[in-house]
Chains A and B, each alone.
Chain A
Amino acid sequence: DTGVSQDPRHKITKRGQNVTFRCDPISEHNRLYWYRQTLGQGPEFLTYFQNEAQLEKSRLLSDRFSAERPKGSFSTLEIQRTEQGDSAMYLCASSLESGIGYEQYFGPGTRLTVT
């Protein structure tokens, strides 16, 4: 078990550009979550998947954001036409929903800086 991994760890982009982040969850985990964390704040929920189905989206997820989990394994989060307000740490987490436990395990995050 290698844990949740995210790529890239850091991304600097110019305003207006598109960016895509990748998350690889713990294998066999069927749920995958995206959160956003800004400086001095706790993580805020963006969206989650059960297998390949996107089941819940936060109102924070504007139409410039899109997330996919095409085969129920890794997930991508794309931000189109980035704005300076998108600068944040983007966190991915995964969990195995079962009758025993449901803890979310977090990856190291992708830090996005929009200049």
Chain B
Amino acid sequence: GNSVTQMEGPVTLSEEAFLTINCTYTATGYPSLFWYVQYPGEGLQLLLKATKADDKGSNKGFEATYRKETTSFHLEKGSVQVSDSAVYFCALRHSGAGSYQLTFGKGTKLSVIP
């Protein structure tokens, strides 16, 4: 079945540091891939997505590239801010007909210190 594995946290970075959160997936076919973010006390928000191989999703300075050869969708940001402190979830949606559920990783908590 489908599964998502992301690096365990927590991750603590200083402001302006480079961020990478690794995400790999297992799925048949060609899933769509997503990163969601959960800020403290808030609901899940879609951060970015990619729907096919070599697509790059980007938003708010975050980027992730859909790599089919390595089944990966790593999240990166060149310079993190304190306001980026949150829990980040990698997720996939299977491409098969009738399959609309999202499969999530366990989440990676990021703390950015001034």
Residues on A lying within 8 angstroms of B by beta carbon are: 4, 31, 33, 35, 40-45, 48, 55-56, 58, 91, 93, 95, 97, 102-109
Contact = CB atoms under 8 A, between A and B. Distances in A.
Interface stretch (B14-22, B41-49, B60-68, B75-83): B41-49
B interface: dominant SS = strand
Given A91-B43, A103-B49, A108-B42, A42 B101 contact: no
A13 B11 CA distance: 35
B105 interface: yes
Contacts of A31: 100
A44 B28 CA distance: 19
A45 B43 contact: no
Nearest to A31: B100
Contacts of A56: 98, 100-101
B106 A41 contact: yes
Contacts of A106: 36, 43-45
B5 to A, nearest CB: 11
